[in-house]
Structure 1
């Protein structure tokens, strides 16, 4: 079940590295990534939900329970998940905008 959740939430398993290999392998990897770009909006929404939940938990810990350290941990984790949202958005925009290397 954990493996299924990991594949559901982690988008980087579906994409290939375009900086390794010969020029033909790099082009094939880029074409593969362009074909897989249609799944990125779903991953962006999932990670936005994760970000919202972490910030909601942080607010809950801080304002309701008065626990500062757990709230700070939730806010830091929410910031990291927000960075993943930005990274996925940039990757989706890049793959939509530039058809070839």
Structure 2
């Protein structure tokens, strides 16, 4: 990528995203609650279902937030850097 593209990317990486951080905290909380539920002597199916559905919901919000951030970077990048950035993001997402 060009120097201008690298600068755009660096700014985006340096910018904190409180909404994303809150979503990640929510996801960890749900994971911890699922772990706790798995240790119970009796499995509460309704609680497990509730937690799994909540996990799906939070994961969806995280994906949306990450996609929004990626699109914002793409819009800010110089045209010549967009394909290289997108290839890099998609390659790392496939891992």
TM-score (norm: length of structure 1): 0.52
More relative contact order, 1 or 2 (CA 8 Å, 6+ apart): 2
Q: Which runs of 5+ in 1 are unaligned?
A: 1-37
The answer to whether structure 1 residue 79 and structure 2 residue 56 are counterparts is: yes
Task: Report the TM-score, using the length of structure 2 for normalisation.
Answer: 0.55
Q: Spell out the pairing of 1:1-101 with structure 2 (5 A cutoff).
A: 41-65=17-41, 66-99=43-76
The 2-side partners of 1:40 and 1:85 are apart by 14
Cα 1:67–1:58 shift into 2, 3 Å: same
Structural RMSD (CA): 2.3
In 2, Cα distance between equivalents of 1:59 and 1:75: 11
After the TM superposition, which segments of 4 or more aligned residues of structure 1 sit over 3 Å from their partners?
none
Q: Give the unaligned 5+ runs of structure 2.
A: 1-13, 78-95
Aligned positions, number: 63
